Amino acid sequence: MDRTLRHTDDLAALAGATPPPQTPLLTVDVSVSYGEKPVLRRAALTVGEGEILGLIGLSGSGKSTLGLAVLGLAGLRGARVEGRILFEGRDLLRLGSRELRRVRGQQIAFVPQSPLAALNPALTLGTQFREAWQAHSSEAGWLGRVFELLEQVNLPASEGFLRRLPQELSVGMAQRVLIAMAVLHRPRLLIADEPTSALDVITQAEIVELFRRLNVGAGTGVLYISHDLVSVAGLCHRLSILADGEIVETGETRRVFAQPEHEHTRKLVAAIPGLGSDVHFFGFGPGASR
């Protein structure tokens, strides 16, 4: 056995140790179009309670649109969403705007791709935390909860820190702030839209670890959107592969790496540096079924 096989094993072994839970938290089956142009065609996936599902697709494949559709925000970008999005038994596409607002941030929270652009440059971090708190709660104890979360994400839990403006933060710090803000109300589901793509490798690893801790500690389900198969390998219980507007393959992370079924998945696995050609040699890679 050589280094490459061990690499494959490593990636697969990194995949969530606990088996994916069976109770569905979120079930999506949607078609989305921008004007006449279809982006997603009956894209279907399920996130179980306490599960981390990786949604993998190339840039422009519609993964972010799917994330926004779950939050009921795809319309803002001019998209038309049809089908159903069941969250804890309720179809989010049938909810009124007021009910949907109560779901957003409280039950389903969002961690964006560009952390510095996602924080309001005119408001201090404290104001932004308070706003996120008051969107769903009139209780007074928000500051204590914010300090508790800042500690959890390894940021200074002080009033001085909350007086800072986003411009005074590094990208990594900004992403931690957004993660802390996202879990403020202990949501059941986090939608993370390429949360590490703007970060350096070390910060990437720290953020991925943070998601794992949140998942294990609070049982938060995560829909982790990414274009990078390797970065999600160690985090996600299962993977759904999006290609040409459809989910072409879903399976446990270990299995997807070891025995990719769809052509597109095989290409993705083969494209991982140091893995592709040798996987073929060991008989379970892209070339094996040809």
- Residues of the shown chain interacting with other proteins in the complex, contacts defined by CB under 8 A: 71, 73, 76, 101-106, 109-110, 112, 114, 117-123, 127, 131-132, 134-136, 178, 181-182
Residue 32 Cβ vs other proteins, minimum distance, rounded to whole Å: 17
Grouping H, G, I as helix, E, B as strand and the rest as coil, residue 66 is helix
**Closest alpha carbon to 105 in 70, 79, 78, 139:** 70
What is the distance between the alpha carbons of residues 102 and 122, in angstroms, rounded to a whole number?
A: 25
Q: CA distances (Å), 254 to each of 41, 52, 202, 267, in order?
A: 27, 14, 24, 16
Q: Which is nearer to other proteins, 117 or 271 (CB)?
A: 117
CA 71 to chain centre: 13
**Closest alpha carbon to 46 in 251, 261, 186, 209:** 251
Q: CA distances (Å), 194 to each of 6, 73, 95, 209, 210, in order?
A: 27, 17, 27, 14, 14
Q: Which is nearer to other proteins, 33 or 106 (CB)?
A: 106
**Closest alpha carbon to 228 in 198, 254, 206:** 198
Q: Which is nearer to other proteins, 188 or 237 (CB)?
A: 188
Residue 119 Cβ vs other proteins, minimum distance, rounded to whole Å: 6
Q: Which is nearer to other proteins, 42 or 186 (CB)?
A: 186
Q: How many CB atoms lie within 10 A of CB 23?
A: 10
The answer to whether 238 touches 53, Cβ cutoff 8 Å, is yes
Residue 40 Cβ vs other proteins, minimum distance, rounded to whole Å: 19
Q: Which is nearer to other proteins, 19 or 60 (CB)?
A: 60
What is the distance between the alpha carbons of residues 40 and 1, in angstroms, rounded to a whole number?
A: 41
What is the distance between the alpha carbons of residues 71 and 257, in angstroms, rounded to a whole number?
A: 30
Q: Which is nearer to other proteins, 174 or 269 (CB)?
A: 174
Q: Which is nearer to other proteins, 87 or 110 (CB)?
A: 110
Residue 113 Cβ vs other proteins, minimum distance, rounded to whole Å: 8
Residue 135 Cβ vs other proteins, minimum distance, rounded to whole Å: 4
Residue 185 Cβ vs other proteins, minimum distance, rounded to whole Å: 8
Residue 128 Cβ vs other proteins, minimum distance, rounded to whole Å: 8
